[in-house]
Structure 1
Amino acid sequence: MPSLGSIRRSFAPWEDPGAKPYISFQNVTKRFGTFTAVEDLSLDVYEREFFSLLGPSGCGKTTLLRMLAGFEEPTEGELYLDGQPLKGVPPHKRPVNMMFQSYALFPHMSVADNIAFGLKQDGMEKAAQDERVEQMLKLVKLEEFARRKPHQLSGGQRQRVALARAVAKRPKLLILDEPLGALDKKLREETQFELMDLQQELGLTFMIVTHDQEEAMTMSDRIAVMDKGVIVQTGTPAEIYEAPNSRYVADFIGSVNILEGRVESTDDGHVVLDGPDGKITGALRGASIDKGTTAWFAIRPEKIEISRTKPEGAVNALEGEVWDIAYLGDMTVLNVRLGSGAVVQAAMLNRLRLVEDPIGYDERVWLSFGAESGIVLDR
C-alpha cells in the first residue's frame, strides 16, 4: 500500500480517537501589552511523543514553551498536563524540565556539579548521583571535561552540559529551546540520533523549539509549523514535506519550486494548471478546487528529472536554459531559467564519481516530472 514518505514507526496515538493527550493547549492566547505572541491556539501532544515547534524567529514558539514550563501564564485559554490544569502551578511544582537557549549554567560549579545540581536538590543518594552524572557525561561526550568550569568550555560544550543537566532528572516532560544550535554540523547530527534513542529508552515526552528544518524532520514524531502566533499545519515530517497545506509551509520546509497557473480542469484527484510556460498536471491538495481560479504547483528539486531531449510520454515537461550549477558532493543542483523568466531548481543525485558528458552552463534542457511528484495548492 502506498505511503506518504517513509514509515518511521507504528507509534501514532494522534490517529486514535480514544487517545488522551498528555499536553493540551485549549484556545490559548498570550499578549504582552498590545502585542499578541500567541493567538487562540489549540494543540494536543501525546505521551512519549517527540514533538517539534518549527517556525521563524518571533512566531511564538518559545512563548508556548515558557507557558508550559510555568514562566508565563496564558492571557486567555487553558493549559493541561496529564489531565491536570496548570493555571497557577509554579514552575518548580511541574514535572517539567526546560533547557534554556542561554544554557543558564552555574559559573562557579564544575560540569559534573552543574549536571548533579537538580539531583542534589531532589535528595538523591551520592552513589546514585555519581552514576547518573557519569551516564550524562557519556551521552554528551564530555567525560574528560567533568571538572572544568563553564568559562573553560566552548559554546557548543556548554550547550551539551545544559542538555545533560536537563535530562539527568528524568522528567516526565523535557522542553528544549534550540538545544543543538551551537554545535558543529557533525556533532549536531550525532546528538540528534542520541536524543531520539534517549527519549525512546527513558520513555520521556520531548517538546522542542527549533528553526532548523532538518533537525525537526530528523527527530520528530510530529511537527507544528507556526507563523505569527498561530499553527498553520501539524503533521508527521513526511506529511509536512510531501503534503504542505499552503505555499508558506511548502516554502518554509526545505527547497521547493512554486509555479503559478490557472486551474483548467480537475479529474480524479489531479489538477491541470495553465501557466506561462505550459500546462502542468499535479496532485490536488484538499477536497476540491474551482476551475478558473489561480493556484500554485509546488515541487521539490529532487523530484525533477533533467535531460537534453524531451522525454517521450512525460506527463509534464518544461524547457529552459541552465543558469547556475552547484556541486554539493552528494548531489548537483541546477537552476534552470524557463521562457517566462521563472527559475526552477532541479537536483541530481551523484551516484557515480565520474560523469559522462555532464550538463553545463547555458545548455538547453528539459525538466520532466510526474503528476504525483508535486502538489497543487490554493493558498
Structure 2
Amino acid sequence: MKSLGNIRRSFAPWADPSAKPFIAVKNVTKKFGDFIAVDDLSLDIYHREFFALLGASGCGKSTLLRMLAGFEQPTSGEIVLDGQDLAGTPPYRRPVNMMFQSYALFPHMTVEKNIAFGLRQDGMAKDEIAERVLQMLKMVKLEKFATRKPNQLSGGQRQRVALARSLAKRPKVLLLDEPLGALDKKLREETQFELMDLQQSLGLTFVVVTHDQEEAMTMADRIAVMSHGKVAQVATPAEIYEAPNSRFVADFIGDVNIFDGTVSAIRPGVVEVAVGEGFTARTATPETPALGNRAGFAIRPEKLRVTRRPPTDASVNASTGEIWDIGYLGDMTIFHVKLKSGQVVKASSLNAVRAVEEPFAYDEEVWVSFDENAGVLLKD
C-alpha cells in the first residue's frame, strides 16, 4: 500500500467514520467590531492527536486557540470538548491548560514553586503536590534545577518549566501558543522531538499554534492550514505537502514551482497541461478537468532533475533551460533555472557524495525534467 510520505505512527481516527471527535468546533465565528478573526470555522480534533494550527500572522489561529482556552468567547457557533459544550465555562473550569509563548513564569518563584502554583490554587494536599512536582521535574529532566529561579535558567530550561507547569494539573488538552518561538534553531529542533515523545507517552491531546511550517510538519499528526479566519486544508503533513488542495496551500507550504497552462490532453487517471513554449506537464491525477480549461500545475524543487543530457522522452515533463543561480547549502545544492518559456524554476539536488566531478556552472544550458507522479494538478 502506497503512502504519501512516511508516517510517524499508525494513528488515524479521522479516517474512521465511527470515531467521535474529542474537540468539535462547529461553525464558530469570532468578530472584533467589524473585523472577522474567525469566519464560520468547523474543525474536528481527536483524542490523543497532536494537532497544529498553521498560518501567517492574522489568520485567526491564536484567536481560535484562545477560544478553546476560554479567554475569548465565540460570537456565534459552539465548541464541544469530550461531549461538553464549553459555552460560558470560564478558563479555570475547563479541562484544558495553555502554555504561552512568553512562558509567563513567576520570576520570584523557584522552578518547583512555579510548577506547583496551579496545584496549590486547586487546594491539593501538600504531600500530593510534592509528589506531582517531582514527577513533572523528572519528566522534563530538571530535577537538579528545582530550587533555581527563572532568571538562572536557559531559554530551553524555562520552556521545560512552563511545559511542566502546564501539564501538572493533568489537563485533557494542552494548548501551546508558539511554544518554541524563543528557542534557537538547534534547540528548537531537539525540543520538537521531545514534545512529540512526551505527548505520546502521556496520551494527551495537544493543539499547537505556529507559523513555522517545519515545526508543524515535524510534530503534528494533522495540520489545519488557515487563511483569513478559515481553514484552507486539514490533512497529515505528507498530504499537505504532496497533495495540496489549492494554489494557496501549495504556495504556503515549503518551496514550490507553479505553472499556469491549458489542459491539452486527458486520459483515465492522467492529465496533460501545456505550460510553456514546447513544454507539456503530464501528471497522474484523479481530477478530470475539461479539455481547454486553464489549469495550474505544482511541483516541488527536490522532484526536478537538472541534467546535461535530455531525458529518454523529452516530449513531456522536460524543458531546456539556462542556469541563472547556484546555491551550495552543504547537504544540498539549489539551482535557479530559466526555462525556454522564460519562467525561472527552483530545483534542489541532494549532495550524496563529497566531490562532484563536473559541477554545473552559471549560464550553462541544461535539461529540467521530472516523473509523471512528481507534480500535482491544482484546483484553483
Alpha-carbon distance between aligned partners in 1 of 2:373 and 2:160, rounded to the nearest angstrom: 42
Alpha-carbon distance between aligned partners in 2 of 1:287 and 1:342, rounded to the nearest angstrom: 25
Deviation at 1:164, TM superposition (A): 2.3
Q: What TM-score comes out, normalization by structure 1 length?
A: 0.95
Contact preservation (8 Å) 2:101, 2:180: no
Contact preservation (8 Å) 1:331, 1:347: yes
Superposed counterparts of 1:98-177, under 5 Å: 98-177=98-177
Question: Structure 1, residues 100-128: CA drift from partner, whole Å, max 9, x if none?
Answer: 12222212212221122122233444455
Alpha-carbon distance between aligned partners in 2 of 1:128 and 1:283, rounded to the nearest angstrom: 60
Deviation at 1:155, TM superposition (A): 4.4
Question: Structure 1, residues 284-321: CA drift from partner, whole Å, max 9, x if none?
Answer: 3x632122222111001111111111111354111111
2:243 corresponds in structure 1 to: 243
Aligned residue for 2:39, secondary structure, equals: strand
Deviation at 1:93, TM superposition (A): 0.7
CA RMSD of aligned residues (A): 1.7
1:372 corresponds in structure 2 to: 373
Superposed counterparts of 1:207-286, under 5 Å: 207-277=207-277, 278-284=279-285
Distance change in 2, residues 1:118/1:307 (3 Å): same
Runs (5+) with no aligned partner, structure 1 = none
Superposed counterparts of 1:304-319, under 5 Å: 304-313=304-313, 315-319=316-320
Percent identity reads: 67
1:67 corresponds in structure 2 to: 67
Question: Structure 1, residues 254-308: CA drift from partner, whole Å, max 9, x if none?
Answer: 1111111111122122211112241111233x63212222211100111111111
Contact preservation (8 Å) 2:324, 2:336: yes
Q: Which amino acid aligns with 1:370?
A: D
1:40 corresponds in structure 2 to: 40
Distance change in 2, residues 1:354/1:129 (3 Å): farther
Deviation at 1:12, TM superposition (A): 0.7
Contact preservation (8 Å) 1:29, 1:41: yes
Alpha-carbon distance between aligned partners in 2 of 1:147 and 1:304, rounded to the nearest angstrom: 55
Aligned residue for 2:36, secondary structure, equals: strand
- My pick for the range that moved more, 226-235 or 268-277, is 268-277
Alpha-carbon distance between aligned partners in 1 of 2:350 and 2:287, rounded to the nearest angstrom: 34
Alpha-carbon distance between aligned partners in 2 of 1:151 and 1:194, rounded to the nearest angstrom: 23
Distance change in 2, residues 1:130/1:231 (3 Å): same
Alpha-carbon distance between aligned partners in 2 of 1:148 and 1:160, rounded to the nearest angstrom: 13
Alpha-carbon distance between aligned partners in 1 of 2:128 and 2:21, rounded to the nearest angstrom: 33
1:55 corresponds in structure 2 to: 55
Whether 1:178 aligns to 2:178 is: yes
- My pick for the range that moved more, 108-117 or 293-302, is 108-117
Alpha-carbon distance between aligned partners in 2 of 1:8 and 1:102, rounded to the nearest angstrom: 29
Deviation at 1:144, TM superposition (A): 4.5
Deviation at 1:138, TM superposition (A): 4.8
- My pick for the range that moved more, 8-17 or 157-166, is 157-166
Deviation at 1:340, TM superposition (A): 2.8
Q: What TM-score comes out, normalization by structure 2 length?
A: 0.95
Contact preservation (8 Å) 1:170, 1:202: no
1:22 corresponds in structure 2 to: 22
Distance change in 2, residues 1:143/1:326 (3 Å): farther
Alpha-carbon distance between aligned partners in 2 of 1:138 and 1:191, rounded to the nearest angstrom: 16
Q: Which amino acid aligns with 1:319?
A: T
Contact preservation (8 Å) 1:260, 1:275: yes
Distance change in 2, residues 1:138/1:319 (3 Å): farther
Question: Structure 1, residues 220-253: CA drift from partner, whole Å, max 9, x if none?
Answer: 1111000000001000111101000111101111
Q: Which amino acid aligns with 1:201?
A: S
Deviation at 1:338, TM superposition (A): 1.2
Alpha-carbon distance between aligned partners in 2 of 1:350 and 1:135, rounded to the nearest angstrom: 45
Deviation at 1:134, TM superposition (A): 4.1
Superposed counterparts of 1:87-106, under 5 Å: 87-106=87-106
Aligned residue for 1:114, secondary structure, equals: helix
Contact preservation (8 Å) 1:256, 1:300: yes
Deviation at 1:67, TM superposition (A): 0.6
Whether 1:86 aligns to 2:71 is: no
Alpha-carbon distance between aligned partners in 2 of 1:134 and 1:317, rounded to the nearest angstrom: 61
Alpha-carbon distance between aligned partners in 1 of 2:42 and 2:340, rounded to the nearest angstrom: 45
Q: Which amino acid aligns with 1:86?
A: L
Q: Which amino acid aligns with 2:252?
A: F
Contact preservation (8 Å) 1:140, 1:191: no
Deviation at 1:143, TM superposition (A): 4.4
Q: Which amino acid aligns with 1:329?
A: G
Contact preservation (8 Å) 2:325, 2:362: yes
- My pick for the range that moved more, 45-54 or 165-174, is 165-174
Deviation at 1:183, TM superposition (A): 1.1
Question: Structure 1, residues 49-95: CA drift from partner, whole Å, max 9, x if none?
Answer: 11000000000001111111111111011110001100001111111
Contact preservation (8 Å) 2:101, 2:182: no
Alpha-carbon distance between aligned partners in 2 of 1:342 and 1:55, rounded to the nearest angstrom: 28
Contact preservation (8 Å) 1:294, 1:378: no
Deviation at 1:160, TM superposition (A): 3.2
Contact preservation (8 Å) 1:258, 1:296: yes
